[in-house]
Amino acid sequence: MTVLPSLVTVADLAARLGRTLTPTQELQAQALLDDASSVVRAYVRLDITRATTTDTFTMRRADPLLHRCGGVVTLPQRPVVDIASVSVNGTAMTDWWQDDNEILVRAWAWDQPPAAHRPPQVTVTYTHGWDPVPGDIQAIVMQAANRVLVNPSGIRSETVGGESVTYLIPAVGEYLGALLSNTEKKVLDRYRRTAASVRLRGC
C-alpha cells in the first residue's frame, strides 16, 4: 500500500505559527500533520497530491442517451491530469476518449451469457491530483494539526466569580483534536468525491 505524503510540511506549519519548533515539537507536528492529512483525505475521498497510478476497473455499459460508445469507466481520483494508457481485458486500446474523469471506449462487443456475467476489466495508467496542494486544503490541515499542537488536552480555562474553572471541551462543543469541524467540512465539500468506481487492484 502506498503511503501518501502529508498535505503540509512541518516547515509550512512552523512558518504559519511564526516560530521555530524544537526537534521534539517537529516530530509531534509531523505526526499531527499526517493525522490531519489522513482525516482530510478520508473526508474528500481523494488522494489530493499529484501522482501517477495504475488501476483496474470494471467497465459499465454506457447510457445510450448520454454516451455513444461501447462502455464507460469512471476514474476515482480527481482532477485527471493525463491518461497514459488504457487496456481492456489485457488488450491495449487507442479507440477511446476522455470526458472529465471518465474514459469512454468507443466500441466494445459485450459478451452474451454466461460470459456476460464477467464484464470487461479496464486497466488505466493516469496522472491525477493537485500540484501544489490547494491553499484552502492546506489551511485546514494546519488548523487541525495546530489545535492539538498548542492544546493537546483540549483544556479551556476561565475565571468565574473569582475562581478558576477548567473544562476539557471548548465552549462550542466537543473537543475536535485533528478531526474536522462542520465549517471545515463545508470548505472541503467543493473537492469531495460523491461517487466511486469499482477498483479491483492497484499496481
Question: What are the tens digits of pLDDT across the range 100-128?
Answer: 999 999 888 777 776 667 889 999 999 99
Average pLDDT of the chain?
A: 84
Task: Write out pLDDT tens, residues 48-61.
Answer: 999 999 999 999 98
Q: What is the per-residue pLDDT for 108? A: 83
Higher pLDDT, 42 or 155: 42
Give residue for cell 468525491: 193
Q: What is the span of the domain harbouring residue 72?
A: 51-129
Contact at 8 Å (CB) between 188 and 37?
A: no
Contacts 24+ apart (CB under 8 A), 60-69: 60/119, 61/110, 62/104, 67/99, 67/104, 69/104, 69/105, 69/106, 69/107
pLDDT of residue 88 exceeding 90: yes
Separation of alpha carbons 168 and 68, rounded Å: 59
- Which residues lie across from 52 on neighbouring strands? 127
Do 38 and 67 share a structural domain?
no
Higher pLDDT, 44 or 118: 44
Q: Is 5 inside any structural domain?
A: no
Decide the pairing of beta strands 199-202 and 51-58.
antiparallel
Q: What is the per-residue pLDDT for 25? A: 92
> What's the distance, CA 179 to chain centroid?
15
pLDDT band at residue 160 using 50, 70 and 90 as cut-offs: low
Q: Is 202 inside any structural domain?
A: no
pLDDT band at residue 199 using 50, 70 and 90 as cut-offs: very low
Do 183 and 157 share a structural domain?
yes
Separation of alpha carbons 77 and 98, rounded Å: 14
pLDDT band at residue 198 using 50, 70 and 90 as cut-offs: very low
Higher pLDDT, 35 or 68: 35
Do 115 and 60 share a structural domain?
yes
Q: Is 55 inside any structural domain?
A: yes
pLDDT of residue 46 exceeding 90: yes
Do 118 and 158 share a structural domain?
no
The domain tally of the chain equals 2
Q: What is the per-residue pLDDT for 41? A: 98
Do 117 and 70 share a structural domain?
yes
Average of pLDDT values for 153-172?
A: 54
Task: Write out pLDDT tens, residues 135-152.
Answer: 999 999 999 998 888 766
Q: What is the per-residue pLDDT for 197? A: 44
